[in-house]
């Protein structure tokens, strides 16, 4: 049987995507397969594995696995990548609706390499949590944008030890047992953020984290540091846009727009 797969990068967050509508990959094999395929030395290499699965009610379903094999309920850059993958396969039109474990997402292919996601409302906002790690106290805002995120505003985004502090905060007792993705944010002129993210499940800084960029945009607006739509420059240099639709006291839903490129595609016979 031939399996369609692709390698995509979305603002530098890269993924292996597999068309698993015929369920050729068994549930119990997904985590070990993710670790194997995401290994940058002995395999294709990626931040995560994304499976396109059949859905009874939407165009398709997305299942996401980090490069360490852990399963996550959502991936913002992965969502933009699977939209492109699904359109390329002919599974969906330019506008599509798909299921994730965090909720239903509307996606639109805007141009050859730009995709927009319209997501569910974020949840579990907790402001001004004090977290001390490695002798330094951080003022953290927490929000769940499909996966858990800590947002920390810093003055010097170039100098901050994203790996050291990110790893320590990711596993801090405040966030156990699930852990948290850690975003360091610098507000610059022009209603723009610079964001660097230590990603749970990759256990390193990635060049972009879509749900982290959304979390950073939301918290910046709530704190009055920026106005929607917020421009975000990811670590890899790509530009994304976070737009919030506020309704009374909560953010009704969020739109993330940014690049998503197919860098390789093929089929493998099994
Ligand atoms: N590492 C995340 C999942 C992927 C998030 C990120 N790649 C994105 O684009 O949202 C977690 O385990 O919570």
Q: Indicate if ligand 1 lies below 6 Å from the C-beta of 147.
A: yes
Is residue 85 assigned to a domain?
A: yes
pLDDT below 50 — which residues of the chain? none
Query: Considering only CA atoms, which of 196, 130, 195 is closest in space to residue 164?
Result: 196
Task: Please report the pLDDT score of residue 60 as a whole number.
Answer: 98
Is residue 242 assigned to a domain?
A: no
Is residue 154 assigned to a domain?
A: yes
- Do 111 and 128 sit in the same domain of this protein? no
Q: Indicate if ligand 1 lies below 6 Å from the C-beta of 75.
A: yes
User: In angstroms, rounded to a whole number, what is the distance separating the alpha carbons of residues 126 and 128?
Assistant: 7
3-state secondary structure of 203: coil
- Do 115 and 128 sit in the same domain of this protein? no
What's the domain range around 150? 123-237
Q: Indicate if ligand 1 lies below 6 Å from the C-beta of 228.
A: no
Task: Please report the pLDDT score of residue 262 as a whole number.
Answer: 81
- Do 8 and 111 sit in the same domain of this protein? yes
Binding-site annotation, residues for substrate? 13, 66, 76-77, 181, 199-200, 210-211
Residue spans of beta strands (DSSP E) within the chain: 2-10, 13-19, 48-53, 60-66, 71-72, 95-100, 103-111, 114-119, 123-133, 136-144, 148-153, 181-188, 192-199, 204-206, 230-234, 239-247, 250-259, 261-269
Task: Please report the pLDDT score of residue 23 as a whole number.
Answer: 93
- Do 113 and 190 sit in the same domain of this protein? no
The minimum-distance atom of ligand 1 relative to the CA of 181 is 13
Task: Please report the pLDDT score of residue 195 as a whole number.
Answer: 98
Task: Please report the pLDDT score of residue 270 as a whole number.
Answer: 64
Q: Each residue of 21-42: pLDDT tens digit?
A: 999 999 999 999 999 999 999 9
- Do 78 and 127 sit in the same domain of this protein? no
Binding-site annotation, residues? 13, 66, 76-77, 181, 199-200, 210-211
Is residue 254 assigned to a domain?
A: no
Reported pTM: 0.96
Centre of ligand 1 to C-alpha 183, Å, is: 11
């Amino acid at each position: 049987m031939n399996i369609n797969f692709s390698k995509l990068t979305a603002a530098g967050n890269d993924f292996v995507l597999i068309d698993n509508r015929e369920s050729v990959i068994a549930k119990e094999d997904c985590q070990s397969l993710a670790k194997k395929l995401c290994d940058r030395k002995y395999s294709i290499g990626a931040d995560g594995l994304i499976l396109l699965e059949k859905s009874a009610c939407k165009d398709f379903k997305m299942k996401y696995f980090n490069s360490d094999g852990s399963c996550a309920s959502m991936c913002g850059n992965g969502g933009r990548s699977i939209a492109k993958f699904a359109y390329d396969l002919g599974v969906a039109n330019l506008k599509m609706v798909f299921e994730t474990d965090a909720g239903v997402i509307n996606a639109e292919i805007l141009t050859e390499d730009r995709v927009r996601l319209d997501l569910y409302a974020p949840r579990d906002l907790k402001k001004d949590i004090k977290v001390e790690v490695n002798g330094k106290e951080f003022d953290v805002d927490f929000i769940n944008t499909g996966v858990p995120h800590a947002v920390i505003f810093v003055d010097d985004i170039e100098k901050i030890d994203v790996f050291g502090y990110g790893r320590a905060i990711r596993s801090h007792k405040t966030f156990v047992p699930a852990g948290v993705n850690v975003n360091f944010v610098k507000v610059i002129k022009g209603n723009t953020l610079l964001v660097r993210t230590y990603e749970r499940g990759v256990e390193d800084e990635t060049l972009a984290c879509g749900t982290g960029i959304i979390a950073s945009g939301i918290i910046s607006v709530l704190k009055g540091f920026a106005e929607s739509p917020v421009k975000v420059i990811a670590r890899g240099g790509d530009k994304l846009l976070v737009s919030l639709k506020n309704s009374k006291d909560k953010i009704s839903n969020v739109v993330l727009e940014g690049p998503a490129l197919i860098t390789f595609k093929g089929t493998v016979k099994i």
